[in-house]
Amino acid sequence: MSDTPTTPAAPVLSEADARLLEITEEDREEYKDEVRWIDGIVCDYPHGEPYVTVDYLGSSVSAGVGNSEPIILPLLGLAAVVYWACWRCDDREIVDGTRRGLVAAEARLRTMPCHCGGAEHPTDTDAEDLTIIMGCLVDPQEAEDYYAEEWEPRRRGWTCPQHLAGLAASRLADMDEMLAEGGPVAQARMGIYAETAVKG
């Protein structure tokens, strides 16, 4: 009998759950520009309209969960822009939409089994890391350039519902801490606590 470890088979998902975790060619084409815009927001040099981009990401995740449509790319994008949404966005409805998207994603993904085939869940979850991962998911050549043979286990980890649920939960905890009354954003009078804030 061979002592070579085998990779466990991924659990079978329902059709609706599998659809949620798809990344279609249409998604890849759409997010080629979105990744660049998200990266600009993360680097605090936004391209285009950051409010529109953040609102779109939150709405896309919420709608995707409700309609069992693909959410991986918008969820990664939403997780990447959380800090901008908390510190820079003075429109409460957009901030609330960010939270709604994360809450919906975590609740749905938590019901799904880990499917990364034994790959470790990634730990590089800084905003800059997320935009790199998004770029790799959108463009296979970029994935090969960054990770070479290491990409496939990383891809499995980054598309694992339990890992994505944990990422959403982590960003929700960050929002709670940053946006608490008397918290750092309030003390700095930025974001939804700024004098210019749109209350919604």
Over 49-95, what HEC string results? CHHHHHHHHHHHHHHHHHHCCCCHHHHHHHHHHHHHHHHCCCEHHHH
Neighbour-count burial for 157-178, b at 16+ CB within 10 Å, e otherwise:
bbbbbbbbbbbbbebbeebeeb
Q: What is the pLDDT of residue 4?
A: 47
Identity (one letter) of the amino acid at 42? V
Here the tokens at position 21 are 């975790």
pLDDT tens-digit series, residues 1-55: 445 445 555 567 899 999 999 999 999 999 988 999 999 999 988 877 999 999 9
Helix (H, G, I), strand (E, B) or coil at 116: coil
Q: Which of 74, 163, 87, 83 is nearest to 119 (CA)?
A: 163
Element (H, E) at 36: helix 25-42
pLDDT tens-digit series, residues 129-173: 999 999 999 998 899 888 888 888 888 889 999 999 999 999 999
Spell out the residues 6+ positions from residue 155 whose beta carbon is closer than 8 angstroms to its own.
136, 137, 143
Q: Which of 193, 199, 168 is nearest to 179 (CA)?
A: 193
As a whole number of angstroms, the distance between CA 68 and CA 83 comes to: 27
Here the tokens at position 24 are 């279609």
Instruction: Share the mean pLDDT of the chain.
Output: 90
Distance set, CA 59 to CA 62, 71, 183 (Å): 5, 11, 26
